[in-house]
Structure 1
Amino acid sequence: MKYSIDKKEQYVIFTPLEEKLDSLLAPKLKSELLTVHAEGYGKLVLDMSYVKYVDSSGLSALLVGDREYGNNGGLFLISGVQDHVMKLLQISMLDKKLNIVSDLEEAGETIFMHEIENGSGEEEEETED
């Protein structure tokens, strides 16, 4: 599987450089997502701008990422979803479950807002104790 990883200060952008995310590539994607998470990154943006086709194995990989990064206040965003893939996400109703943003700029803004919300939430908890 060809991909690029751009490690920012607060998050990682993972970009599969493949047109298909199917049963041949999905296990590798799952593995890479888990590896990045194990390295200590709690927020990941999956840039799907090259992906034109996803099958059930690919959808499963997206759910694994969502579950893994969603634990302990992390965040898993999917950006750049092509029309055909978006239709599949809507049919499977995963567009309601997954955090989908239009592009990397919106992803950065969402992560920034997530940081603010979690930061203020932690401060409120500390003052209550």
Structure 2
Amino acid sequence: MKYSIDKKEQYVVFTPMEEKLDSILAPALKSELLTVHAEGYSNLVLDMSQVKYVDSSGLSALLVGDREFGKNGGIFLISGIQDHVMKLLKISMLDKKLNLVNNLEEAGEAIFIHEIENGEEEGED
């Protein structure tokens, strides 16, 4: 699986450089997401701007990312979703479950807000 990864201070931007996220590539995506999480990053943006097709295995990989990064108060955002992929997310009602943003700028803002809100919650203990 071809991808690019951009590690920032508060989060990682993971960009699959593939047009299809199917049963052949989904296991590799799951593995890479788990690796990034194991490296200690709690926030990840999955930039789907290159992905034009997703099947059920690809959706499963998205749910794994959402579950893993949400475990310890982190956030998993999906950015740059193509029309066909968005239709599938809506049909499967995952558009309600997953954190979707239009672009990387919105993703950065959402992570910033998420970090502030989590910081305040931790301070209240």
Task: Tell me the TM-score normalised to structure 2 length.
Answer: 0.99
Q: What letter corresponds to residue 97 of structure 1 in structure 2?
A: K
* Total equivalences in the alignment: 125
- For 2:32 and 2:70, the matched residues in 1 are separated by 16
- For 2:51 and 2:124, the matched residues in 1 are separated by 41
Query: 1:61 maps to what in 2?
Result: 61
Q: Alignment partner of 2:14: what SS?
A: strand
- For 2:45 and 2:91, the matched residues in 1 are separated by 22
- For 2:20 and 2:32, the matched residues in 1 are separated by 16
Identity of matched residues, %: 83
Q: Residue by residue, what CA displacement relative to the aligned partner does 1:66-85 show, whole Å, maximum 9, x if unpaired?
A: 00001010110000000100
Structure 1 residue ranges (4+ consecutive) displaced by more than 4 angstroms after TM superposition: none
Task: Tell me the TM-score normalised to structure 1 length.
Answer: 0.96
Give how far 1:121 is off.
1.1
Q: What letter corresponds to residue 26 of structure 2 in structure 1?
A: A
Is 1:22 equivalent to 2:17 in the alignment? no
- For 2:36 and 2:87, the matched residues in 1 are separated by 28
- Counting helix residues as a fraction of each chain, which structure ranks higher? 1
Query: 2:78 maps to what in 1?
Result: 78
> Which blocks of at least 5 consecutive residues in structure 2 are unaligned?
none
Q: What letter corresponds to residue 52 of structure 2 in structure 1?
A: K
Give how far 1:45 is off.
0.2
Q: Residue by residue, what CA displacement relative to the aligned partner does 1:41-66 show, whole Å, maximum 9, x if unpaired?
A: 00000000000000000000000000
